[in-house]
Amino acid sequence: MLNYREYFKPFYQRPVDDLLVNKKNLIGVEIGIFQGHHAREMFEKLDIVKLYLVDPYRKYDSTLSPHLESAKEEAKRVLAEFKDKIVMIYKESVEAVKDIDDESLDFVYIDGGHSYDAVSQDIPAWYPKVKSGGLVGGHDYTPDYFPGVVKAVDEFCKEKGVVLNAKYGVQRKEGPATNRDWWFVK
Ligand SMILES: C[S@@+](CC[C@H](N)C(=O)[O-])C[C@H]1O[C@@H](n2cnc3c(N)ncnc32)[C@H](O)[C@@H]1O
């Protein structure tokens, strides 16, 4: 039988997380929880005191959609030991953001809706919530799979005049490269 820890774990270890190692008492948010595996990696690697996790678990334009109800239950199981440091927000990203104070977060990791419209709403919505010097980033900056993510990120960075970074994580198979983080420092 496939062993999760051996096979999938490397794909949830993201370049953005490496930038937060050695920082203390982190408060952050992940948009898009799904089964909670990346959130768990963050807890295992980083000194997080509070993590807001945002996901409405509602059908959206993705192959993940049919699995959302079981994903929500899986996330509760995967994250159970960190629950005292987690604030679950079962809302759309642009609604959830209203619950968060401006300049209160050390990082935001955007991995919710992957369309151009979704990402081009998420970045400007969450940007004000991050402290100066904090990290704004996300997943799937991959032109072959998610051109809308790339376009929305590029447009925002150009408009703000910030330096965009991108780095691939572990690759799974042959074919176009995937699993690439993007980020900039606010
Ligand atoms: C790619 S999965 C997230 C995977 C997770 N970040 C990880 O790496 O383990 C995308 C998730 O985003 C959620 N999602 C879709 N639209 C959203 C929105 N508007 N706001 C917040 N979450 C959304 C979906 O329900 C889904 O669970």
Structural domain boundaries in the chain: 22-185
Residue 32 Cβ < 6 Å to ligand 1: yes
Mutational pocket test of ligand 1: of 67, 72, 111, the residue with most ligand atoms within 8 Å of the beta carbon: 111
pLDDT at 2: 64
pLDDT at 1: 58
Nearby residues of 184 by Cβ (< 8 Å), 6 or more positions away: 135, 136, 137, 157, 162, 163, 164, 165
Measured in Å, residue 53 CA sits from the centre of ligand 1 at: 10
Compute the C-alpha angle 34/8/154, nearest 5°: 60
Residue 31 Cβ < 6 Å to ligand 1: yes
Residue 93 Cβ < 6 Å to ligand 1: yes
Measured in Å, residue 115 CA sits from the centre of ligand 1 at: 11
Q: 22-185 belongs to which CATH class?
A: alpha beta
Measured in Å, residue 57 CA sits from the centre of ligand 1 at: 8
Compute the C-alpha angle 9/64/146, nearest 5°: 85
Q: Residues of the chain whose pLDDT is less than 50?
A: none
Count Cβ atoms within 10 A of the Cβ of residue 164 and give its class: 0-12 exposed, 13-18 middle, 19 or more buried: middle
Nearby residues of 76 by Cβ (< 8 Å), 6 or more positions away: 36
- Candidates 119, 104, 111, 130; CA nearest to 154 is 119
pLDDT at 7: 78
pLDDT at 50: 98
In this structure, what DSSP letter does residue 138 have?
A: E
Residue 29 Cβ < 6 Å to ligand 1: no
pLDDT at 5: 67
pLDDT at 33: 97
Mutational pocket test of ligand 1: of 8, 55, 181, the residue with most ligand atoms within 8 Å of the beta carbon: 55
Radius of gyration from C-alpha coordinates of the chain:
15
pLDDT at 23: 98
